[in-house]
Amino acid sequence: MSIPFWCVFISALLIYIARMPVAKAMKAEGGYDNNQPRAQQARLTGLGARALAAHQNSFEAFILFAVGVLMAHTTQTQGFLIDGLAIVFVIARIAYLGLYLADRASLRSMAWVVGVVCSLLLMLAPVLRWALA
């Protein structure tokens, strides 16, 4: 499996890793409400609320990244740039999650921007490859 595909796999795992502090916060509220988990999540504050937001944002980021990797793959655009963008995306997302939990909003936003730029560049890589050839 290629580096970008491994990075897609890792970023999929990050969605559920980001969910772990949410479950912990819900448990701290008297237990996980399996009947109405969304209502319970909506009541979370502090770290629990930030963890929920980070978890939800991970879904949004994953879609854009996975599409970028697939666009690069289906156009047979590969190499150091594609691998590098995929790796930087994963690092940015790990940083994003940590910064969100630590309540470091400005740094978190910078990590988010890095991730989005990597995803967009992956989408544009086929065009850039053609333009630079």
Q: What is the pLDDT of residues 27-36, one digit of tens each?
A: 998 888 889 9
Report residue 110 as tokens: 């910078």
pLDDT of residue 5: 97
Domain ranges, residue 107: 3-132
pLDDT in tens, 50-88: 999 999 999 999 999 999 999 999 998 888 999 999 999
**Reported pTM:** 0.92
Phi-psi region of 79 (alpha: psi -120 to 50; beta: other; left: phi over 0): left
pLDDT at residue 131 in the model: 61
Please tell me the predicted confidence (pLDDT) of residue 130.
Answer: 66
Q: What's the helix, strand, coil split of the chain in %, to 5?
A: 80, 0, 20
Contact between 2 and 79 (Cβ < 8 Å): no
Q: What number is the average pLDDT over the span 1-14?
A: 97
Looking at the 3D structure of the chain, how many domains does it have? 1
Per-residue pLDDT tens for 41-50?
A: 999 999 999 9
Q: 105-130, pLDDT tens digit by residue?
A: 999 999 999 999 999 999 999 887 76
- Read off the CATH number of the domain in which 106 is found: 1.20.120.550
